[in-house]
Structure 1
Amino acid sequence: MPRRVLEGKVVSNKNAKTVTVLVERKLRDPLYGKIMRRSAKYAAHDETNQWKIGDQVSIEECRPLSKTKKWRVIGGKALGESQARTVDEAEQGRASVKRSLEAAPKAAPAKAEAKPEAKAKPAKKTKKDE
């Protein structure tokens, strides 16, 4: 029987050689069809203590290593790797906007036009006025 492999996010690394991994899954309600999120936390063995909070990791089922640890980390993507690309893209975007603002000619501020005053409407006649 093949071992199960799950992917999740490290939410705690306080214990020695152990990380807590939050695994989320989506399921559809059989009657109403609404898609719901379900999550579970697994204690996984991290031999080298290399995984930090926020890292995306893959865990594999293994023999029981302790009372609660029945999974081990087999790989993943560090938070720094996934975030570095988006930060670089954001900085490049800011730089291009700044360059375009500097290159654009500055327009003179438009003068506010005086609006003609609206004519007052005559008051409606009521039964008391008659």
Structure 2
Amino acid sequence: MKKRGMRRQLVGTIVSNKMDKTVVVMVERLIKHPLYHKYIKRRAKFAAHDENNTCQVGDKVLITDSRPLSKTKRWRVSEIVVKAV
């Protein structure tokens, strides 16, 4: 049995769960400006597969990359890190 390589994992917040078995996760990262050395927030949205529709808006989740599941989905929800109140 072959081992898979290290899969890319990101932590983000769910901003939409209106689709069936799909959530939209916003991932924020800080980059340093090359000239002014100030940290800037960069955001990216990813469509992720949520098999049991357990995620709610505001949850912090860990997503893992996977094979393409649809036109836009290339990520799966691995675990819910923090549930929204």
Q: Does the alignment reach a TM-score above 0.5?
A: yes
Whichever residue aligns with residue 69 of structure 2, its letter is L
Aligned counterpart, 1:9: 13
What does the per-residue CA deviation read over 1:53-76, in whole Å, with 9 as the maximum and x for residues that have no partner?
A: 000000000000001000000001
Q: Can you give the 5+ residue segments of structure 2 that lack an aligned partner in the other structure?
A: none
Q: Report the alpha carbon displacement of residue 32 of structure 1 after superposing the two structures with TM.
A: 1.1
Q: Please state which structure has a larger fraction of its residues in helix.
A: 1
Aligned counterpart, 2:35: 31
Counterpart CA distance in 2 for 1:71 and 1:59 is 6
Counterpart CA distance in 1 for 2:8 and 2:64 is 6
Counterpart CA distance in 1 for 2:39 and 2:18 is 33
Larger CA Rg, structure 1 vs 2: 1
Aligned counterpart, 2:58: 54
Q: Can you give the 5+ residue segments of structure 1 that lack an aligned partner in the other structure?
A: 81-130
Q: Please state which structure has a larger fraction of its residues in strand.
A: 2
Q: Work out which of the residue numbers 69, 77, 84 in structure 2 matches 1:79.
A: 84
Structure with bigger RCO (C-alpha 8 Å, 6+ apart): 2
Aligned counterpart, 1:44: 48
Query: What TM-score does the superposition give when structure 1 sets the normalisation length?
Result: 0.60
* Structure 1 runs of 4+ with >6 Å offset: none
For the aligned residue pairs, the C-alpha RMSD in angstroms reads 0.7
